[in-house]
Structure 1
Amino acid sequence: MDTGTHVVMGVALTGLATLDPQVTPTFAAVATGVMIGSQIPDIDTVLKLKNNAIYVKNHRGITHSIPFTLLWPLILTFLIYIIFPGVDVFHIWLWTQFAVFFHVFVDIFNSYGTQALRPISNKWIQLSIINTFDPIIFVSHLIAILFWTFGVNAGIAFGTLYIGLAVYYVIRFILQDAIKKQALKQIQHEHNPVKIFVAPTIRFMEWRIAIQTETHDYVGRSYGRNVSFNDVFKRQTFPNDHIMAHAKYDENLRAFLSFSSIYRWEVTRIDKDTTELRFIDLRYLKNGHYPFVAILHLDDDMKVTQSYIGWVFTEEKLMKKLAA
């Protein structure tokens, strides 16, 4: 989820913590642990300062793993005990642990996902039923917090909130399954779909769709139960060894291939000295444009002279980033 949603979830968990009679004497310490615990797995956002490749490859990776989900609360509890000496360490740890776990848990429901089972498995868990920012989830938290602020019992305010959201998540699963079935029905002439990606947008009834079959890639959207495919691409074999001899070692391309599951590629001669190799993620079509790409410029010996990975919404901005 986005930072704002994790913040309001932290406030809600802080409200729930007041139901624990052992929290009252140490409320400030527990609230500190819960609010920081609700954010700390995303500390890997600082990797953006290094470069996009490292960020794409590692965001929501080790910091959301089993060891770190257990380690963060211990670190925070220790630091909080230094700031608030003599407080109830067990209950600070308990609620901080719940906040960290809850952060990692809710992140598995969007399309970016997490490596929450690492080191048991490095597989990305991405259930893709909730958009990174979901207005219904965010606003419902604000309403529950407002009721709590005006004196409604925390159990009633936040209990009602999370029962309602549990129902909401079930509805999202049902909608996603219905859209998958409808999308596959519309390409039933194809044999053996290899991958299918159905992920939400910020609009409740609009979903992104990308399907890879043995022969074609289908990209489109659903509006309610109506599925419309905007683009159909014939499947390509991977770029030949001559092109990939040096490109396969480029950190931007390696990051792209580790993250993207449905993509196509293009090779273009852009001037007498430069060949462009472009990998395009097909999962994020928006307004006729595919914004998530990896771009490599190669010289006549197929050595990489420039490369970039990231979200770009115009060619002009892309060229500026490559030139930077």
Structure 2
Amino acid sequence: MDTGTHIVMGVALAGLSMADPVVTSNPATMTAVITGVVVGSLIPDIDTVLKLRNNAIYIRHHRGITHSIPAVLIWPILISILLSLLIPGANLFHVWAWTFLAVFLHVFVDIFNAYGTQALRPFSHRWVAIGVINTFDPVIFGLHILAILIWMFGANPVSTMITTYIIIFFYYLLRFAIKSAVKRAVFNTIPDADDVFIAPTMRFFQWRVAASTANYHYVGRAYGRSVNIYDRFERKPMPTTPEIEAAMEDKNIEAFTSFSPIYRWNVSYIDDICEVRLIDLRYRSKGYYPFVAVAHIDSDLNVLNSYTGWIFSEDKLKKKLNFSPNS
């Protein structure tokens, strides 16, 4: 989920913690628990700082080790110990328990996005991405904001948050049902599809669709049970030339292929420079495919420059690559 949703989830958990008599009877414990659940709701996303290094490292590691099983166990311990030192008199066990719940829920809700997490590490490096909830879901965010406002106006925080999470639980079930209907509609439209990607958008009934058959990639949108195919690309094996092999070993290209399950490729030559471009088909936006990886290889098989990430124009891509055809 996005940072804003994780924050309001932390505040909601703070309200729910009022069900714990140890929290409500001890001001130090209450302060530590409220701080712990808010920090715990955010701490797994500390790996966002990797973006300051480069996109390749960020793509490879975001929602990776910081969302793993060891991290879910370690974060609450570290936060609880730190809070017990900063807030004397706080009950360490109760601070840990509520902080653990916050960290666990952060990782748990992230697996329902299309991006997913490596929540099963170290047992598996597979990305767990159920894809029924958009990274920012206005319904979930709005329900949390409404619950917090009701709490602020004097309602019982425990019953308010319990009611909110019961509603959200049924909302999740509804999203699963809708995705199942969309999947059936995709197979009705493309009966021979062998690889299907379905992801939600911020609009309740709209879903992104990318599917592959033995011969083609299809990209479209689903509106309820209606599937519109916008693009069809021939599915061809990538050539095995020395230039392409050199490009595929580049860190940006490797990061892209480790993350993207459905993409097409394009190889072109600019003077004596070979450009290898991989284009993720899952994120079509206004006729453009913004998530790409590009590498330029010279005649001596050196990688002159490369990039992976979100780009919405060719001019911006050239600036990122610092590349000019005449240079």
**How would you bin the TM-score normalised by the shorter chain?**
over 0.9
Q: Select which of 162, 183, 204 maps to 1:180.
A: 183
Q: Deviations over 1:148-168 (max 9, x none)?
A: 111111222111111111111
Question: What's 1:290 paired with?
Answer: 289
Q: What code does the residue aligned with 2:30 have?
A: F
Q: Deviations over 1:88-119 (max 9, x none)?
A: 00000000000000000000000100010101
Question: What's 2:145 paired with?
Answer: 142
Is the aligned partner of 1:110 residue 2:108? no
Question: What's 1:305 paired with?
Answer: 304
What is the Cα deviation at residue 248 of structure 1? 2.1
Is the aligned partner of 1:132 residue 2:135? yes
Match of 1:295, SS state, is strand
The 2-side partners of 1:294 and 1:286 are apart by 17
Is the aligned partner of 1:279 residue 2:273? no
Question: What's 1:77 paired with?
Answer: 80
Is the aligned partner of 1:169 residue 2:172? yes
Is the aligned partner of 1:250 residue 2:250? yes
Q: What code does the residue aligned with 1:291 have?
A: P
Question: What's 2:197 paired with?
Answer: 197
What is the Cα deviation at residue 61 of structure 1? 0.3
Q: Deviations over 1:288-322 (max 9, x none)?
A: 00000001111123321010000001111111111
Question: What's 2:18 paired with?
Answer: 18
Greater CA drift, 108-117 or 146-155: 146-155
Q: Select which of 43, 47, 51 maps to 1:44.
A: 47
Match of 2:136, SS state, is coil
| Contact in 2 for aligned 1:217/1:233 (Cα 8 Å) | yes
What is the Cα deviation at residue 209 of structure 1? 0.2
Question: What's 2:69 paired with?
Answer: 66
Gaps of 5+ in 1: none
Is the aligned partner of 1:30 residue 2:36? no
The 2-side partners of 1:187 and 1:137 are apart by 32
Map 1:81-92; keep pairs closer than 5 Å: 81-92=84-95
Q: Deviations over 1:163-193 (max 9, x none)?
A: 11111111111111111111111112x3xx3
Q: What code does the residue aligned with 1:9 have?
A: M
Question: What's 1:228 paired with?
Answer: 228
What is the Cα deviation at residue 247 of structure 1? 1.3
| Contact in 2 for aligned 1:245/1:302 (Cα 8 Å) | no
Match of 1:127, SS state, is coil
| Contact in 2 for aligned 1:8/1:142 (Cα 8 Å) | yes
| Contact in 1 for aligned 2:40/2:99 (Cα 8 Å) | yes
Gaps of 5+ in 2: none
The 1-side partners of 2:287 and 2:113 are apart by 22
**TM-score of the superposed pair, with normalisation by structure 2:** 0.96
| Contact in 1 for aligned 2:18/2:158 (Cα 8 Å) | no
Match of 1:165, SS state, is helix
Question: What's 2:265 paired with?
Answer: 265
Q: What code does the residue aligned with 1:129 have?
A: V
Match of 1:133, SS state, is coil
Q: What code does the residue aligned with 1:186 have?
A: T
Q: What code does the residue aligned with 2:14 have?
A: T
Question: What's 1:95 paired with?
Answer: 98
CA RMSD of aligned residues (A): 1.0
The 2-side partners of 1:205 and 1:314 are apart by 28
What is the Cα deviation at residue 194 of structure 1? 2.6
What is the Cα deviation at residue 45 of structure 1? 0.2
Question: What's 1:323 paired with?
Answer: 322
What is the Cα deviation at residue 245 of structure 1? 2.8
Do the aligned partners of residues 302 and 194 (structure 1) sit closer, same or farther apart at CA in structure 2, a change above 3 Å counting? farther
The 2-side partners of 1:220 and 1:279 are apart by 19
What is the Cα deviation at residue 249 of structure 1? 1.7
What is the Cα deviation at residue 215 of structure 1? 1.2
Instruction: Give the paired residue count.
Output: 320
Match of 1:38, SS state, is helix
Is the aligned partner of 1:218 residue 2:218? yes
What is the Cα deviation at residue 83 of structure 1? 0.2
